[in-house]
Amino acid sequence: MDNIEFDTRISWTIGLTTKHGDVLTPSEVIAHTIVPTLAARGFDGFSVTENWGYWKGQPERSLTVSVCVDVGGHDFIDGDAAVNSHALSFTEDVARHLAALNQQECVLWTIDKIVGGLAPA
């Protein structure tokens, strides 16, 4: 395997309390919503971290899911309008899908420029 480099990280943060007050378990959210959602979009590798944060002034556990991609030097924020539009549309589509599956009012998404990669053994 050759070195693989990434220049962009896309993340989604999903609360573990539904809009109806039910508490979700991280393993169920990962297995039943995150894995199938990302697999359907061609991702077979991603990271998930568990967090504590605040929503509407109340503490809440959440999961942040991150994928790293190489967009070939395109800048999602200030760059090519077509690339920007596609990236934002993809990111928002995944956020809406995860929000619906997990009964959330919304899902936070972010797009960050990074320097990263995979190094072979």
Beta strands, E only, 1-121: 4-15, 47-55, 58-69, 108-118
Domain residue ranges of the chain, discontinuous segments joined by +: 4-118
With a cut of 60, say whether residue 89 has pLDDT above it: yes
Is CATH 1.25.40.850 what the domain over 4-118 is classified as, yes or no? no
Residues ≥6 apart with Cβ < 8 Å to 10: 66, 67, 69, 87, 90, 91, 94, 109, 110, 111
With a cut of 80, say whether residue 61 has pLDDT above it: yes
pLDDT single digits (tens) 3-18: 777 778 899 999 999 9
Q: Which of 13-17, 44-48, 67-71, 78-82 has the lowest mean pLDDT?
A: 78-82
Gap between the Cα atoms of 113 and 65, Å rounded:
16
With a cut of 70, say whether residue 77 has pLDDT above it: no
Whole-number pLDDT of residue 76? 55
Q: How large is the average pLDDT for residues 79-100?
A: 82
